[in-house]
């Protein structure tokens, strides 16, 4: 029918999210041109800085994917032309951000998968060093993978790198697929980082109800003239293969090794993460991203309220020689405030803070505070028993 038609568009106001859990960083090794640490609040900030699809296509792609999955988030980024495998740039980027970064995505698309174990260990050490300074973060990284390596990847669950996750997924039908034809294993770090930053700290990025990775399509000029190719609607892997190239048993074997990638669920449109593993033993308390993000948030909050008390007075009960109850109660109360807010926000199921009054602080000048968190569980599998019967009871 003839007439005037209006199409209402969204995102022009570039509204920012509240809080700090979404603050993220992107680090691309193998960038065509070095990009110094910078803060971007939307893809348009890259254009303003002269960083385009032509000058730095892989970096721009992952930044665009981050904002596509979580618009309004805050992103620090850096482009490095070569990687020495130490990942010290992560520390530099965290320092540049004033310690605000909660999660970082690293695309190291020129480092071979044969170096995964050593590189993951190096990255985890960097993360541990930052955690020791009370500015912890979670890291997700992708590597260069050849087709011959896909089914022979080492198990990440034999490592001790609980602060690192490895993503091997990649778009196989849109902008990512088009770029991978030239640059090969560019992965899906940007989308993964966006999903992590979009999730509350206790939520798995594999939550089907909340983490559909498919939304919009890039202009066909960016996808090799493929019309309406919605990004990640065709999930694949960083070697260029597609999800459909593997049997269910092979996909389960890859999952069992602890790698992250996108998958489909029968009867449900969209693409979703297979899980939220970290590169450590499944028996570890920190085997999943949400475990790390939850405790890291508690660490940051408790550090914020306890730090002003450092070198402050701790009174002693003159009759018992124990810590005075007022000192104990005051410190417990300020920690309670942090954790009570997390419980109200649904980020933990419960908590306990305790200080032993028998501590010999006059001898040691040390105060020990014990914090116990009860996390929120994740329903990774739902088992339904179903059958036929003569009567419902």
The 10s digit of each residue's pLDDT in 231-250 is 999 999 999 999 999 999 99
Picking from 273, 291, 321, the residue at the C-terminal end of a domain is 273
Residue ranges of alpha helices (H) inside the chain are 43-48, 57-69, 88-96, 116-132, 175-183, 189-198, 248-256, 289-306, 325-344, 361-364
Q: Whose CA is closest to 78, among 64, 94, 67, 65?
A: 94
- Note whether 231 and 333 are same-domain residues: no
Residue 303 lies in a domain: no
| 198 and 323 part of one domain | no
Q: What is the pLDDT of residue 113?
A: 86
Residue 289 inside a domain? The answer is no
- What is the CB neighbour count within 10 angstroms for residue 10? 6
| Mean pLDDT score across all residues of the chain | 94
Could you tell me if 351 and 339 are in contact, meaning their C-beta atoms sit under 8 angstroms apart?
yes
Q: For the chain, list the strands marked E by DSSP.
A: 24-29, 35-40, 75-80, 103-112, 138-144, 164-166, 169-171, 235-237, 262-265, 268-273, 350-354, 370-374
Q: What is the pLDDT of residues 50-60, one digit of tens each?
A: 999 999 999 99
Shared domain for 269 and 315, answered yes or no, is no
Find, among 185, 205, 180, 96, the residue nearest to 143 by Cα.
Answer: 185
8 pLDDT tier (thresholds 50, 70, 90): low
Token pair 């003239």 is at which residue?
Answer: 225
Helix, strand, or coil (residue 262): strand
pLDDT tier for residue 7 given thresholds of 50, 70 and 90: low
Last residue of a domain, one of 273, 293, 328: 273
Residue 283 belongs to a domain: no
- Give the model's pLDDT for residue 336: 98
Which pLDDT band, with edges at 50, 70 and 90, does 114 fall under? Answer: confident
- The reply to whether 330 and 219 lie within a common domain is no
Q: Does residue 146 sit in the same domain as residue 193?
A: yes
**Both 196 and 120 in a single domain?**
yes
The pLDDT confidence band at residue 228, using thresholds 50, 70 and 90, is: confident
Asked if the structure places residue 19 within a domain, the reply is no
Clarify whether residues 264 and 316 are in a common domain.
no
- Tell me whether residue 12 is in a domain: no
Mean pLDDT value across residues 131-154: 96
According to DSSP, the β-strands at 169-171 and 35-40 are unpaired
pLDDT of residue 99: 97
**What per-residue confidence (pLDDT) applies to 265?**
96
Say what the pLDDT of residue 254 is. 97
Per-residue pLDDT, 208? 97
> Domain boundary at 224, 247, 273, which?
273
Where b means 16+ CB within 10 Å and e means fewer, 310-347 reads eeeebeeeeeeebbbeebbeebbeebbebbeebbeeeb
Q: Are residues 255 and 333 in the same domain?
A: no
- Average pLDDT of the residues in 151-166: 97
217 and 366 in a single domain? The answer is no
Counted domains in the chain:
2
Confidence of residue 359 (pLDDT cuts 50, 70, 90): very high
Q: Of 7-21, 310-324, 378-392, which gets the smallest average pLDDT?
A: 7-21
Are both 204 and 329 inside the same structural domain?
Answer: no
- The residue segments making up the domain with residue 68 are 24-273
Q: State mean pLDDT over 145-173.
A: 96
Q: Are residues 238 and 365 in the same domain?
A: no
Report the phi/psi class of residue 290: left, alpha or beta, with left for phi > 0 and alpha for psi in -120 to 50.
Answer: alpha
Q: Is residue 242 a part of any domain in this protein?
A: yes
Chain segment 334-344, per-residue pLDDT in tens: 999 999 999 99
Per-residue pLDDT at 13 exceeds 70: no
Based on the domain organization, do 268 and 333 belong to the same domain?
no
Is residue 148 one of the residues assigned to a domain?
A: yes
Residue 18, domain member (yes or no): no
């Amino acid at each position: 029918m003839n007439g005037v038609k209006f199409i209402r568009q969204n995102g022009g106001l570039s509204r920012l999210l509240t809080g700090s859990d979404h603050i993220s960083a992107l680090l691309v090794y193998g960038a065509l041109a070095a990009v110094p640490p910078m803060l971007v609040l939307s893809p348009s900030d890259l254009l303003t800085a002269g960083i385009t699809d032509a000058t730095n296509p892989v970096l721009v792609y992952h930044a665009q994917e981050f904002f596509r999955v979580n618009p309004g988030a805050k992103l620090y980024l850096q482009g490095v032309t070569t990687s020495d495998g130490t990942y010290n740039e992560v520390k530099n980027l965290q320092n540049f951000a004033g310690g605000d970064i909660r999660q970082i995505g690293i695309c190291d698309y020129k480092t071979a998968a044969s170096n995964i174990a050593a590189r993951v260990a190096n990255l985890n050490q960097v993360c541990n060093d930052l955690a020791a300074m009370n500015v912890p973060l979670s890291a997700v990284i992708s590597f260069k993978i050849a087709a011959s390596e896909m089914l022979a990847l080492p198990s990440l669950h034999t490592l001790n790198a609980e602060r690192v996750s490895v993503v091997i997924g990649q778009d196989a039908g849109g902008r990512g697929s088009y770029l991978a034809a030239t640059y090969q294993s560019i992965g899906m770090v940007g989308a993964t980082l966006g999903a992590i930053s979009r999730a509350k700290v206790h939520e798995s990025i594999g939550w089907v109800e909340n983490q559909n990775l498919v939304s919009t399509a890039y202009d066909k000029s960016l996808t090799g003239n493929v019309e309406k190719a919605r990004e990640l609607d065709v999930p694949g892997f960083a070697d260029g293969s597609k999800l459909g190239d593997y049997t269910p048993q092979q996909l389960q074997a890859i999952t069992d090794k602890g790698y992250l990638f996108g998958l489909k669920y029968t009867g449900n449109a969209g693409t979703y993460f297979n899980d939220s593993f970290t590169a450590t033993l499944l028996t570890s308390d920190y085997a999943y991203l949400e475990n790390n993000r939850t405790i890291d948030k508690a660490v940051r909050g408790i550090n914020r309220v306890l730090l002003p008390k450092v070198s402050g007075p701790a009174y002693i009960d003159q009759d018992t020689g124990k810590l005075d109850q007022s000192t104990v109660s005051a410190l417990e109360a300020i920690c309670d405030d942090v954790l009570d807010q997390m419980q109200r926000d649904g980020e933990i199921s419960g908590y306990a803070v305790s200080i032993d009054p028998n501590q010999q602080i006059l001898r040691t000048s040390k105060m020990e505070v014990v914090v116990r968190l009860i996390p929120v569980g994740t329903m990774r599998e739902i088992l339904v028993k179903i059958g036929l019967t003569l009567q419902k009871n």
